[in-house]
Amino acid sequence: VSADAASLRNIPSVDEVLKTPVASASVERFGRTSVVKAVRAALSETRSSMRGTTAVAAEAAAIAERALTQLELQSRPKVRAVFNLSGTVLHTNLGRAQLAEAAVEAATAAMREAIALEFDIGEGKRGERDELIRELLCELTGAEAATVVNNNAAAVLLVLNTLAKGRESIVSRGELIEIGGAFRMPEIMSRAGTKLIEVGTTNRTHEKDYVGAIGPKTGLILKVHTSNYRIEGFTKEVKADKLAAIARKHKVPLFNDLGSGVLVDLEKYGLSHEQTVAEAVAEGADIVTFSGDKLLGGPQAGFIVGSKELIAKINRNPMKRALRVDKIRLAALEATLQLYRDPDRLTTTLPTLRFLARKKAEIESAAKRLVPAVAKAVGPAFEVAVAACASQVGSGSLPQETVPSAGIAIRATNGRSSGRAIAALSSSFRALPVPVIGRIEEQTLVFDLRCLEREDEFVRNLALLNPAEKR
Ligand SMILES: *Cc1c(COP(=O)(O)O)cnc(C)c1O
**Cα 152 to middle of ligand 1, angstroms:** 5
Cα–Cα distance measured from residue 314 to residue 370, given in angstroms and rounded to the nearest whole number = 52
Q: Smallest Cα–Cα separation from 270: which of 359, 392, 365, 350? A: 359
Ligand 1 centroid–CA 153 distance in Å is: 6
- Report the pLDDT value the prediction gives residue 7, as an integer from 0 to 100: 60
CA of 4 to the centre of ligand 1 (A): 61
**Ligand 1 neighbour 224 (Cβ under 6 A):** yes
Q: Which residues contact 468 (CB under 8 A, 6 or more apart)?
A: 421, 424, 425, 428
CA of 329 from ligand 1 middle (Å) equals 18
Contact 133, 148 (CB under 8 A): yes
Burial 289-314 (b: 16+ CB within 10 A, else e): bbbbbbbbbbbbbbbbbbbeebbeeb
How many angstroms is it from 68 CA to the middle of ligand 1? 44
Cβ atoms of residues 289 and 258 within 8 Å: yes
CB 98 within 8 A of CB 351: yes
Q: Which atom of ligand 1 lies at the shortest distance from residue 224's CA?
A: 13
What residue owns the CA closest to ligand 1's atom 3? 259
Picking from 292, 317, 307, the residue whose alpha carbon sits closest to that of residue 133 is 292
Any atom of ligand 1 within 6 Å of the Cβ of 256: no
Grouping H, G, I as helix, E, B as strand and the rest as coil, residue 184 is strand
* Ligand 1 contact, 151 CB (< 6 A): yes
Residue nearest to atom 7 of ligand 1 (CA): 152
Neighbours of 193 (CB within 10 A): 14
Distance CA 164, CA 64 (A): 63
Helix (H, G, I), strand (E, B) or coil at 44: helix
Q: Which atom of ligand 1 is nearest to the CA of 227?
A: 15
Supply the residue whose CA is at minimum distance from atom 11 of ligand 1. 259
- CA 351 to chain CA mean position, Å: 14
Mean pLDDT by 10 residues, the chain (471 residues): 59 95 97 97 89 69 95 93 97 96 98 94 91 96 98 97 98 86 86 96 94 98 86 89 98 96 91 93 98 96 98 97 97 98 96 96 98 97 96 82 95 86 96 96 96 97 81 47
pLDDT at 471: 47
Measured from the CB, is residue 302 less than 6 Å from ligand 1?
yes
Cα torsion 246, 250, 251, 256: sign: negative
- Going through 210-250 in order, the beta strands assigned E by DSSP cover 218-224
Dihedral of the alpha carbons of 299, 302, 303, 306, in degrees to the nearest 10: 170
* DSSP assigned state of 200: S
CA of 91 from ligand 1 middle (Å) equals 13
- Per 3-state DSSP, the chain is made up of helix, strand and coil in percentages (nearest 5) of 45, 20, 35
Rounded distance from Cα 317 to ligand 1 centre (Å): 21
Residue closest via CA to ligand 1's atom 12 equals 259
In 131-176, alpha helices (H):
131-141, 152-164
> Which residue among 148, 152, 176 is best mutated to probe the pocket of ligand 1, counting the most ligand atoms within 8 A of its Cβ?
152
Ligand 1 midpoint to CA 7 (Å): 61
Ligand 1 pocket member 156 (CB < 6 A): yes
